[in-house]
Structure 1
Amino acid sequence: MLTDTILEDPRWEEHGLVDAAEYAATAALVYLKMQPGDFTISLLACDDARIAVLNADFRDKLQPTNVLSWPSQELAADEEGARPDPPEPDRFEDQTELGDIAIAYDTCQREAEAAGKPFDHHVTHLVIHGVLHLLGYDHIRDKDATLMEGIETAVLGKLGIPDPYKD
């Protein structure tokens, strides 16, 4: 499996996150013409309390967030709007670890309800978003955000999920 999911909050089980995360992460890699079987991703499915601690520890933001990512390799492009470098294969393992993602149930639920979107669609989007961060994509600079959002929208479209950036 591409994703190794730890269900710290049991509410995620009701939504089949293990299978949904595998599906979303695989779709992102396939879209980018990467072989999912060559990689692994660790996913922590938690609640707002846990992600708030992680957000404080790693980003100095004392609040919960929807998703956090910790890439195993620094792949970001130097030039704004350029594609990141591909991950370097692990010389000692069959699969290359792309990194870790944490996703918070409470924030995802609140955001989905506020946007009037199905919870499962929002979670799929956030898993894809997290995977792209592991691959060096970001949304700090405008051209990088345009690139990342375009990929997210295209992957979601292939999964039959509407563009999350449209009003």
Structure 2
Amino acid sequence: MIDIEVEDQAWREALPHAEDLARTAADAALKALGAQGEGVTLLLTDDESVRELNARFRNRDNPTNVLSFPAPENPELHLGDVALAFGVCAREAGEQGKPLGHHLQHLVAHGVLHLLGYDHMNDAEAEEMEGLERVILAGLGVPDPYAAGEGDHD
């Protein structure tokens, strides 16, 4: 099950179908890795809320585009939570010249991959994770987010 909570209405104002886009990306990421029974919660929020989460749980007092919080093993098969900051995401999409909807789907897929145990702490991990993101996003009709000029993520 994919639960979505929209705390910042800017998401809906900028993307009337933000919830559908986020759900589709999370579902595609789960299915790509055979995790169809697992659940995630997606929080579409503002920069300040993500800054507070980042400070509290990661000792980094700044907002970032996406944060993932894996859950401990549980009988409900809940993988964890993903939070996305509207201001950071919108700014990045503009700077990178890509639609906000595509950036949202990329970051949701990225966050779900973190919940599934993927990371990008070294080049090999980053290459594997980015390859999975490309496959997932291609299935959604989203261009390669790592193509020249497409920017990067946190």
TM above 0.5, yes or no, is yes
Larger radius of gyration: 1
Paired residue secondary structure (2:42): strand
Instruction: Name the residue aligned to 1:84.
Output: none
Per-residue CA deviations over 1:109-157 (Å, capped at 9, x if unaligned) read 0000000000000000000000000000000121111100000011111
How far is the alpha carbon of 1:104 from its aligned partner? 0.4
Asked whether the equivalents of residues 45 and 86 of structure 2 are also in contact (C-alpha less than 8 Å), the reply is yes
Structure 1 runs of 4+ off > 2 angstroms? none
What is the aligned-residue identity percentage? 50
Give the superposed CA RMSD. Answer: 1.2
Give me the whole-angstrom Cα distance separating, in 2, the residues matched to 1:31 and 1:70: 20
AA partner of residue 34 (structure 1): A
How far is the alpha carbon of 1:13 from its aligned partner? 1.9
How far is the alpha carbon of 1:34 from its aligned partner? 2.8
Instruction: State the TM-score, normalizing by the size of structure 1.
Output: 0.83
Q: Which runs of 5+ in 1 are unaligned?
A: 74-87
Instruction: State the TM-score, normalizing by the size of structure 2.
Output: 0.90
Give me the whole-angstrom Cα distance separating, in 2, the residues matched to 1:51 and 1:166: 27
Count, aligned residues: 146
Give me the whole-angstrom Cα distance separating, in 1, the residues matched to 2:105 and 2:116: 17
How far is the alpha carbon of 1:39 from its aligned partner? 1.6
Paired residue secondary structure (2:83): strand
Give me the whole-angstrom Cα distance separating, in 2, the residues matched to 1:23 and 1:156: 10
Instruction: Name the residue aligned to 1:21.
Output: 22
Give me the whole-angstrom Cα distance separating, in 1, the residues matched to 2:30 and 2:63: 27
Per-residue CA deviations over 1:12-33 (Å, capped at 9, x if unaligned) read 2231222111100111112123
Asked whether the equivalents of residues 5 and 42 of structure 1 are also in contact (C-alpha less than 8 Å), the reply is yes
AA partner of residue 4 (structure 1): D
Instruction: Name the residue aligned to 1:57.
Output: 56
Asked whether the equivalents of residues 48 and 64 of structure 1 are also in contact (C-alpha less than 8 Å), the reply is yes
Asked whether the equivalents of residues 3 and 22 of structure 1 are also in contact (C-alpha less than 8 Å), the reply is yes
Asked whether the equivalents of residues 30 and 38 of structure 2 are also in contact (C-alpha less than 8 Å), the reply is no
AA partner of residue 25 (structure 2): A
Give me the whole-angstrom Cα distance separating, in 2, the residues matched to 1:99 and 1:24: 15
Q: Which runs of 5+ in 2 are unaligned?
A: 149-154
